[in-house]
Structure 1
Amino acid sequence: MDQTNCDNNVTNDDIHSHSSFKKLAKINGMINDMTIDELRHRLSQLTLEVSGSEDSCRRRLKNHYRNETMKRVFNKSITYYYDIICVVDFEATCDSPQSDDLIQEIIEFPAVLVDVKQRKIVSTFHEFVKPKSTQKLSEFCTKLTGISQSIVDKSQPFVEVLDKFDKWFNSYINNNNIKSYAFATDGPWDLCHFFALTCKIYDITLPSYARQWINIRKVFTNQYKRQQLSLDQMLTHLGMEFKGRKHYGFDDAINIANLLIRMITDGANPTINQEISCHKSDRNRWTNIKCGYVSINHNKSSINSNDSDSDNSTFKDINNK
């Protein structure tokens, strides 16, 4: 299949009839008829990633030709909503069976910055946290996360770790002239449950950047037209493997970041899709926790995002029904 040359002199009036788009439609039809081996061969010729399911390879190849056509017609690259995306995946105190009295407080705080345009990890943050409410970790928690009692005992409390994170994050924002960013998680609970609850324990006002986020499971569903899957299942669908230890927050965050990069490569343009809520009747909640989340659909950056329906006082009784 040959790439097509396109005329750059295009007006808005004749864009839909422009020959480039007619050729793109023809190319898409040819891609639809290609076998998985043909798809991977063509991806390889274009030095693109060849792993993943037949569907993901097909979408990746179509996205390549779409982007190339847009560059030729409009003489510009795709515009992303955010300059960087900060992936977080906290580990918290836990037990099995889970007791209603157990407060799930953050004990590991990892963050991974993804440069969206460059499609690569550009900086990382990683600290363990000494819990305040649950001073002794359960055997289940240690086996699940690999975090020992001695690790948390010698770590700093959440308020100090959060201060370190804010300094690291703001330093990157300021030093790299970042104009827009968003946070991303694998599911909603890292921010609307673990992070919000830990802030409540320390009587810290929930930072504005943590009130809205990108749930990468929803991005995956929209991009590949699949039901929401686990991290392992999403990686498998794209021909990727989990690297490191599962339920170890930093390794989880790295794998989520790599998944996010692959989705962007395949044509996704992630946008904030969930926000924290403590008042809306349709919010989703974890057990009896007052705080939950609702789905939203907009592309505002966390830098300029408005607060959710929750005011600061909400987070002082976040545990109440």
Structure 2
Amino acid sequence: MKFASSISSTKLSENPDPAKTLRSETLMASAAGAFSRRFLLLSPLPLSSAHSFALKPSLSFHRLLSRNRGASASMCLSAPVVVDAQTTDRWKPMCLYHTQGKCTKMDDALHMKTFNHDFLVDLKSNIRSLNKLRPQNLDYLLVLDLEGKVEILEFPVVMIDAKSMDFIDSFHRFVRPTGMSEQRINEYIEGKYGKLGVDRVWHDTAIPFKEVLGEFEQWLNNHDLWVKEQGGLLNRAAFVTCGNWDLKTKIPEQCKVSKIKTPSYFMEWINLKDIYLNFYKRRATGMMTMLRELDIPILGSHHLGIDDTKNITRVLQRMLADGAVMQITAKRSTSAPGDVKFLFKNRIR
């Protein structure tokens, strides 16, 4: 679904026919009710009440039903979902307009009941007792998990207190490619986000990477983590990624496409896989392995950046609670940005 021009069979309209919209929503609701009365179809219409659209059924809908027949869930903008039985009573999909500061339905009771607008719901720090927490050399950890193989499509960051594990803030933007044709962008988004049911919100909110970085730098400045005029590394903070790809490879590639210099705050990071390997003495190939080995249920949609970032944050919180110390694992040379030095001898390659 595309804002202004369709990339699927569903079309947006600035002046929809109310009768047709009502019939469409009624048919969808009836279809969902055939599977379970406890599943809900909801169109939040965050940007304008003049827009109408139909939500595509979740690809994991049948899997979710078979796994959690007694659970209450929503088919909505962040479906499909994989929800553990322990979390179904409290889990709700995040409103992806809200994460970007663009939700206009905060006074709609049904919307508020159906969508999560509070990161603390998923990122409470009381995972285990805190008596194993060890002193950290950093004050804040910024969990980052980019999406997009050709160009970056999503830039989500979750900030937590390194000493208490508490959630502090988040930054989330969908990113519009600048080096691709409109047709290729449409195909790209349909293939990536169409199957997750979030292509509409992407088209409504995505902005170029250069603008995203401008807003992100203001966010960093608001938290006293970095000052543009001073440059340099982050102040008492570090990025945490699940692998080296995000900051070693993708950020420099995207900066080149966007015709900007790689910002200085991207010069070092913590690869959580390396910390995991050295702390638990076992190898984890990715987020899903970590979640499974630590018996942490996945929340939301795998490969939706903001959900993956939250799940990586939950792994990080658990590791801190178990006594892990977060250390920089990789540094980029300021004189030769393509030259990256890996600081751990025992690391994931």
TM-score (norm 1): 0.58
* Counterpart-to-counterpart distance in 2, 1:159 and 1:145: 26
Unpaired segments of 5 or more residues in structure 1? 1-47, 51-59, 68-77, 95-103, 281-289, 299-321
* Counterpart-to-counterpart distance in 1, 2:178 and 2:204: 11
Alignment pair present for 1:165 and 2:216: yes
Aligned length: 208
Which of 131, 152, 160 in structure 2 is aligned with 1:114?
160
Does the 8 Å contact 1:115/1:122 carry over to 2? yes
Which of 127, 141, 159 in structure 1 is aligned with 2:173?
127
* Counterpart-to-counterpart distance in 2, 1:292 and 1:242: 35
* Counterpart-to-counterpart distance in 1, 2:327 and 2:136: 9
**Residue 296 of structure 1 aligns with which residue?**
343
Which of 284, 288, 294 in structure 2 is aligned with 1:232?
288
Does the 8 Å contact 1:213/1:272 carry over to 2? yes
* Distance change >3 Å, CA 167–CA 145, structure 1 → 2: farther
* Counterpart-to-counterpart distance in 2, 1:84 and 1:278: 23
Q: Secondary structure at the match of 1:117?
A: coil
* Counterpart-to-counterpart distance in 2, 1:295 and 1:146: 38
Further displaced range: 239-248 or 131-140: 131-140
Q: How far does residue 210 in structure 1 lie from its aligned partner after superposition?
A: 0.8
**Residue 13 of structure 2 aligns with which residue?**
none
* Distance change >3 Å, CA 200–CA 116, structure 1 → 2: same
Task: Using the aligned pairs only, state the percent identity.
Answer: 33
Does the 8 Å contact 1:274/1:293 carry over to 2? yes
Q: Secondary structure at the match of 1:173?
A: coil
Q: How far does residue 293 in structure 1 lie from its aligned partner after superposition?
A: 4.0
More helix by share: 1
* Distance change >3 Å, CA 49–CA 183, structure 1 → 2: closer
Q: How far does residue 242 in structure 1 lie from its aligned partner after superposition?
A: 1.1
Does the 8 Å contact 1:130/1:153 carry over to 2? no
Does the 8 Å contact 2:136/2:162 carry over to 1? yes
User: How large is the RMSD of aligned CA atoms in angstroms?
Assistant: 3.1
* Counterpart-to-counterpart distance in 2, 1:269 and 1:238: 17
Q: How far does residue 140 in structure 1 lie from its aligned partner after superposition?
A: 2.9
Q: Secondary structure at the match of 1:199?
A: helix
- 1:69-88 pair list within 5 angstroms: 78-88=134-144
- 1:131-170 pair list within 5 angstroms: 131-134=177-180, 135=182, 136=185, 137-138=187-188, 139-143=190-194, 147-148=198-199, 151-152=202-203, 154-170=205-221
Q: How far does residue 130 in structure 1 lie from its aligned partner after superposition?
A: 1.1
* Distance change >3 Å, CA 155–CA 294, structure 1 → 2: same
Q: How far does residue 109 in structure 1 lie from its aligned partner after superposition?
A: 0.9
* Distance change >3 Å, CA 174–CA 278, structure 1 → 2: closer
> Deviations along 1:256-296, whole A, 9 cap, x unmatched?
1111111011011110101346999xxxxxxxxx9474412
* Distance change >3 Å, CA 180–CA 279, structure 1 → 2: closer
TM-score (norm 2): 0.53
Q: How far does residue 208 in structure 1 lie from its aligned partner after superposition?
A: 1.5
**Residue 183 of structure 1 aligns with which residue?**
239
Unpaired segments of 5 or more residues in structure 2? 1-125, 227-233
**Residue 311 of structure 2 aligns with which residue?**
255
